[in-house]
Amino acid sequence: MTESIYANYPPSLSPTQQEFLVTTIKDWAIQNGLAVRPPPTYVPEGTDPNRVLATTAPVTLFPSPFPRSCFQEAEALQTAYNRLYATITNDEKWLGKIIEDLIDVDDFVANLWKTHLAVKEEGYVQDLSLGLFRSDYMAHETANNAPELKQVEFNTISSSFGGLSALVRSLHYDLLTSPPGFSLSYPPHPLFESNVPPENTAVETLSGGLAAAHIAYGPSKSSPKLPLAILFIVQDGERNVFDQLALLKRLTDFHKIPVFRVISSKILDQTSIPASDPSRPLVYTPPHSPTTPFEVTTVYLRAYYSPDEYKSSRDWEARTHLERSAAIKCPTVLNQLSGCKKIQQVLAEPSGPDHLSSFLKGTDSSLIERLRKTFAPQYDLSESGQGRDLALNPESALKHVLKPQREGGGNNVYKSEIPGFLKSIPEADWKGWVLMELINPAANAENVALRNDGEVLRGNVISELGVYGTILWDNKGNVLHNDQGGWLLRTKGKEVNEGGVAAGFSSLDSVLLF
């Protein structure tokens, strides 16, 4: 069945039609904020000294067909996944045992763990944690059966693209529904008949989580009391700023919550914790208005997920400063660590303790089995395990990807490169990596991408679906808010191993369910 859906999709375009569609999309994108700051390589040095330029985010010209059953299953599982990762985060002992093994081979993980221990030693003053998660999947094709939903990874920090993804859905919706003869619109195709991409509530869901945390924080702890605000911690030179601003706008316009974006290198200059106050409120002093400080209820990290962002001990000092404050962290250090690829591999282990059932006590066992079904086989590289043989054998390596404990794309080793890579690093370091079987989405799907240098590429593609979820919980395991909603489809050339839009591999896309 899948075969026939992908055949002759997307409809072909004459050169004039394609040019027209591309022009329409470029204009739509800028008009609606479906944009990114241009990569430095597109702006030769000195040509944009004041950084005023923005460009169309990489997008597909057409929505991609995606199996409805997989899409619905991903949505149905999200709140259980939220609970799973909240519960793991609360189990410091279980988490610590796994992290312990990574500490001697991974400085970044070691430093995160140290940050947690330092704050624990002093005592945490905030019981609540906020998660803004994204669970990523592919629709795995098997010979005769219906496609199966398989998880690529679960993200617990800086889960991005909710803002732009909702806009791509609107772009494709507009192109599908504009009457023929109008400036927008696609050539006809059977898949377009009375079919539009499902609603995408990513912005509402993610801001809803932040707003729930803001409210749960309660009144100002400062004396005298201060007005309350949310802080987004962002990277210097962030190109994906409009994605963040979509959440910011929803928080200010709809929830009426003040939000400020602070570059991570400025945290120690612009925020403080009064030394004399044991409740440790985090006070933000806006540089543009130093006489009106705010107390921060919630710190949302769109930074600090990658080791290269910690340039000196000052960055670790800033991270510790946030962690020890009374602000609700999204995520806490422990919640960030729960998203390690190693944790996902341990959860997927087919034998040994049933971690899923113990973390999701009280959950319907059939739901737990549905979660388990989304796991692709994953292995450690220990001497006794199967993973080592699979990774070192050139033939079996072809069916696998090797992952370190990193986020943000561009860190994995693929297929034929795995054996040589492993042999090039000390064997003692192998325990910092996990081996995962490759998921195989439909082989004959096609789409056309408009890259952000204006290049238009048509070809076979692979799509990755992300579903957003948000959860607010306390350290005793009480859940105050647990919600799912909104999705992301990223599409890349079939021959490309890596994923990630920001990393330059994929384009933003939307789904047409079949």
- Complex with ligand ADP: residue 198 or 409, whichever CB lies closer: 409
Selected binder of ligand ADP within 245, 444, 498, 514 (CB under 6 A): 498
C-beta separation of 377 from 369 below 8 A: no
Helix (H) or strand (E) holding 464: strand 456-474
Q: Which residues of 300-321 are buried (b: 16+ CB within 10 A; e: fewer)?
A: bbbbbbbbebbeeeebbebbbb
Report d(CA 406, CA 341) in Å as an integer.
8
| Contact set for Mg ion, span 99-158 (CB under 5 A) | 153, 155
State the minimum distance, in angstroms, from the CB of residue 30 to Mg ion: 27
Going residue by residue from 113 to 152, which x/- string records binding to ligand ADP, judged by CB under 6 A?
-----------------------x---------------x
148 is an annotated ligand-binding site residue: no
Of the candidates 169, 138, 156, 58, the residue with the CA atom closest to the CA atom of residue 440: 138
- Complex with ligand ADP: residue 258 or 339, whichever CB lies closer: 339
Q: Which residues pair with 401 in a beta bridge?
A: 414, 436
159 is an annotated ligand-binding site residue: yes
Residue 309 contact among ligand ADP, Mg ion, none, beta carbon within 5 to 8 Å by kind: none
- Complex with ligand ADP: residue 296 or 418, whichever CB lies closer: 418
Chain centre to alpha carbon of residue 416 = 27
- Complex with Mg ion: residue 141 or 407, whichever CB lies closer: 407
SS (HEC) of 200-236 = CCHHHHHHHHHHHHHHHCCCCCCCCCCCEEEEEEECC
Contacts of 131 (CB under 8 A, 6+ apart): 82, 85, 86, 89, 156, 209, 330, 331, 335, 469, 470, 471, 472, 473
- Complex with ligand ADP: residue 274 or 385, whichever CB lies closer: 385
Going residue by residue from 389 to 408, which x/- string records binding to ligand ADP, judged by CB under 6 A?
------------x-x--xxx
Q: How many residues bind ligand ADP (CB under 6 A)?
A: 19
Catalytic residues: 134, 153, 155, 160, 341, 403, 407-408, 490
Report d(CA 81, CA 89) in Å as an integer.
12
Residue 417 engages ligand ADP in binding (rule: CB under 6 A) = no
Q: Where are the alpha helices (DSSP H) in 416-502?
A: 417-424
Going residue by residue from 403 to 422, which x/- string records binding to Mg ion, judged by CB under 5 A?
----x---------------
State the minimum distance, in angstroms, from the CB of residue 102 to Mg ion: 16
Q: Which residue positions form the known binding site? A: 134, 153, 155, 157-160, 238-240, 244, 302-305, 341, 403-412, 414, 436-439, 464, 490, 492, 498, 501-502
